[in-house]
Homo-oligomer: A and B are copies of this chain.
Amino acid sequence: MTNPLIDDRLVDLVLWDVVDAARLTDLPRFQDHSRETFELYLGSCRRLAREVLFPTYREMDEAGAQLVDGRVKLHPKMRDAYAQIRELGVIAATRPEAVGGASLPATIATMAHAYLQAGNLSPTALCGLTTGAAHLIEAFGDEALKETFALPMYEGRWTGTMALTEPQAGSSLADITARATLAADGTYRIEGSKIFISGGDQDVTENVVHLTLARIDGAPPGTRGISLFAVPRLRPEGGALVDNDVEVSGLIHKIGWRALPSLALAYGSRGDCHGWLVGEPHRGLPQMFQMMNEARLMIGVQGAATASVAYHESLAYARERTQGRALTTRDPASPPVPLVEHADVRRMLLRQKAIVDGSLCLAAVTARLADDAEHGDARAQLLLDLLTPVTKSFPAEQGYESNVLALQIHGGYGYSSEYLPEAWLRDQKLNSIHEGTTGIQGLDLLGRKVVAKGGAALAAFSAAVREDLDRSALDVGGVRAALDRVGALTASLGARGLSGDVAGMLAHSADYLALTSIVVIAWMHVKLTNAAAGDAPFAQGLRQSARYWLATEVPRIEHLAKLCESAESSYVEMQDDWF
């Protein structure tokens, strides 16, 4: 049996029931759509993922990308994979017709693209990066910039990158030093180094546009002096494309996503790198952050998709591979049973399922909030902001754990590259690092999101969860108590921060993120089981998965909350020379 990548039944339930995506056509931007056009796009993505992308995954992972004479050569099959994703209109799917898009809701695009990601991350991410880069220009650039840079990207003739990170600064964007000097023609001359630039060069389209953070000469230090520039590899000049002095200075040997090269770039080593200011000077970081939710949501879906494809692989293996007997079978001549019959293997499978179902449902819920927020729904915006760090980090962290279980179920075979779980394990690990590490997500959640607007976001969250709990046929007393606990804990941590003890408030931000994630995923399981009535096997499975999560994960919250509340101080007080 071929790997389905993602369970269609789950996606259908989530879309048409849990987030009621058919009603998205009530929103002005989506009024020309119908459930039929949504399903058409979803179906096309499913087919492309299964028939085109997944069959190329293994060979792309094995061969990776090459750096030859300063230029990147992608895997030969990347050209066709990219062309077919482009053909489907994936790059501008959610953008308006005015820029060549299809005005699809983020909700639909997110779940449709999840299949592409599960099928083969690298070509899909090449398109996703291009969307993000073009969107920055669409949102903040003037008409000329849109015409010159955004349209070719939305069209897929050019690709785009996000060029933030510098070797010396890492996650600390305040410390970036790339320089921009105003030139007589009104553009800027860019000079500096960037690192970990995914898709920073390729040979499947004629050009790449780097959305680059740099400091205009004389800008204030820190994050308030960073501006955003469009810096193409080839710049349009006199009707032609000429070299723009952005060199590939290194190819990083990533352990996963191997067909999407991560590069070090050198800007302006010949003093001839032109950059076009996007938006306001010194507003580069806030502008970037307006798009960050989008990027972080995409990471979350990538995490969910990567966990999903591995889950299905290990499920098929556990059903097919016979080994050993029931604990109570004494007759060695009885035939061996499939792995799935062993309780501990079912535990590993059900844990994966609980993580995957919860993550995919969360991706849809968050995307639906993004659609509503874009239509001016303030409550949706509050919830979106609150959920983003969880949506980004839970699939990365627990998705990784889930990928480990998929490998473990394969036993010794899983430890070899003849089987795929080890490849997805490598892919998944990136998601806890890029677009803000898990540590940063914890600080964002506790330090900003839950305390924003006097706790309004958290109140909206609690109300939304309660609404679903009230409709649940499960025993949700534990979730209710956990929700109360999160509220009280957050109030007490917020008060600590306000009293000046910010370090104490944030000491256990990792535990706070973990416990909030458990509640959020419990909420997703409640939503799923509310939506799936009846005794069909699929509904039974969802209930079992919800029961598992409520029984094994939700009770962990109390301990984590105590650690946060007490600001348990072992690592806080640990001194460098004590290690």
Contacts and interface: CB of A to CB of B under 8 A. Distances in A.
A579 B541 contact: yes
Contact of A327 (B438, B503, B573): B503
B559 A544 contact: no
A499 interface: no
Contacts of A434: 412
Given A336-B172, A559-B555, A416 B328 contact: no
Contact of A574 (B350, B407, B578): B350
Interface stretch (A12-20, A104-112, A339-347, A358-366): A339-347
* Number of identical protomers: 2
Nearest to A540: B578
A538 to B, nearest CB: 7
B510 A171 contact: no
A159 B9 CA distance: 54
Given A256-B415, A506-B327, A336 B430 contact: no
A412 B344 contact: no
A433 interface: yes
Contact of A418 (B252, B340, B412, B417): B252
B502 A422 contact: no
Given A323-B170, A506-B343, A548-B571, A175 B336 contact: yes
A404 B408 contact: no
8 contacts: A349-B579, A350-B571, A404-B429, A407-B429, A414-B433, A415-B430, A552-B563, A552-B570
The 7 closest A-B pairs by CB, nearest first: A222-B332, A541-B578, A548-B570, A172-B324, A344-B439, A350-B571, A253-B417
Contacts of A323: 169-172, 175
B551 A563 contact: yes
A189 to B, nearest CB: 24
A185 interface: no
B429 A253 contact: no
Say what secondary structure dominates the interface of chain A: helix
A75 interface: no
A537 interface: yes
Interface of A: 165, 169-172, 174-175, 195-196, 221-224, 252-256, 262, 315, 319, 321, 323-328, 332-333, 336, 338, 340-347, 349-351, 353, 400, 404, 407-408, 411-412, 414-418, 422, 429-430, 432-434, 437-439, 442-443, 447, 502-503, 506-507, 509-510, 537-538, 540-541, 544-545, 547-548, 551-552, 555-556, 559, 562-563, 568, 570-579
Nearest to A426: B422
A329 B407 CA distance: 43
A346 B571 contact: yes
Contacts of A195: 412
Nearest to A256: B415
Given A408-B438, A418-B252, A327 B443 contact: yes
A544 B570 CA distance: 6
B170 A412 contact: yes
Contact of A568 (B174, B439, B552): B552
Contacts of A538: 578
Contact of A437 (B255, B349, B411, B559): B411
Given A253-B417, A332-B223, A412-B165, A571 B324 contact: no
Contact of A319 (B418, B541, B576): B576
A510 B169 contact: no
Nearest to A342: B439
Nearest to A407: B429
A205 B485 CA distance: 64
A324 B575 CA distance: 18
Given A328-B502, A328-B503, A400-B404, A196 B412 contact: yes
